Structures are given as C-alpha cells and as structure tokens.
Amino acid sequence: MGDLDVYEKQNFGNLSGIGESPALLIVDFVNGFTDPEKFGGGNIQDAIYKTVDLLAFARAHNMPVAMTRVVYSDDGSDNGIFCEKAPGLKGLTEDAPISQIVDELAPIKGEYVVRKTQPSGFFGTNLAGWYNSKGVDTVLVTGCTTSGCVRASVIDAMSYNFRTVIVTDGVGDRAIGPHEANLFDMGQKYGDLMSVSEIISVISNKN
C-alpha cells in the first residue's frame, strides 16, 4: 500500500471548498525572503509573481486582504524561542529594509498589515477577529515559507473554522522538498490545494 492509499483508506483529503465570502492572506512576502543570503531561495520569488495576479483579482472583487510581517522590537525585548532557533529573525524590525513587504505586493488603504512575532499570522494577533468582522468564511493563503509560517497560519485558519485554501503556486519555500511535503500534508488535513487560475475560475463562476 502506497502513502496516498493510506490517506484514502482513512478518508483524509476531502474538500472543504470556497465559501461565499473569501479573503486573501499573504504571509511574510517581505524583502528578506527574496534574498537567498537572508531567508529566501527555492521558489519564493515565483510564488510572489503568482500572488501579484491573485491580489489584483482580490482587489477587483473587493475581497478583504491581510498581509503579515514578522516584526521584532529594536531592543530585542520581544525576541523569543523562535529567535533562538533562527537568530537572523532578530533583524526583522519595524524599519529594517528586509522586513518591508515587497513592492509588487505593497498594501493599499483598507488592507490589514499584521505584525507578528510567531510563525502563525493568527497567533497573538487580531487577524481572526478582523476576518470575522468582514464576514469572511474562506481564507486563501499565499506566502512563505510553505513549511513554516504558511503552514502555521493554515492550521490556525482551519482551527478558527475558516474554509482554508492553500494557493499551490502562490506559496514558496527555500527548499523544494519541504515545500512539496507540506503541500501534500496540508491538503490531506487542513485545507484545499488550488492554483491561482483555479481559484479565479471558481470565484468568477460564483458571481
């Protein structure tokens, strides 16, 4: 019995779908993750390019849009265990160039920029409350890294009972092995796997 057969036998991988009120979540597409010398590499830049298309579609359809940044205090007072595991994160302070959202995805008025110190965009933030205030029932997740902050945010989105979609060509990782493994696992347990073109088609056909 192959790996997929085990999941099918145990009835994993069912679809939760896209509801009537989707929103976009863009996780940590900041300058530092476009630089392989900092936090980048792999297919992250390609995922940013695809997210540009989805963001334009979301704006055209008046979908709520949230973007996350990892932001630590200049004095290091809120550095935690995450920074012990990856000390370079300490440099992601409010005004640091590496902590700024990439120009291609720069937020506009009305879009929610979430500052976080942990992997999930929901942990210790008001993101779930903001989505609830907008009547959101589905969260479309792009960003990086697939195996890190994207995965953590996907699990929390599902835990808050949002239908959750991982945008397969809109998420990236510094290494392709973890990217592919985590896409598979999230698709079996936490959300649906859909490409940008598939999402645009489904939502367009609903309207």
**149 counts as catalytic:** yes
Q: How many residues does the chain have?
A: 207
Task: Count Cβ atoms within 10 A of the Cβ of residue 53 and give its class: 0-12 exposed, 13-18 middle, 19 or more buried.
Answer: middle
Helix, strand, or coil (residue 109): coil
- Report the distance separating Cα 161 and Cα 103, nearest Å: 32
Cα→Cα distances 144→19, 40, 85, 134, 192, Å: 24, 9, 17, 24, 17
How many helices and strands, by DSSP H and E, does the chain display? 7, 6
Indicate the residue type of 11. N
Catalytic residue among 83, 102, 149, 171: 149
Active site residues: 149
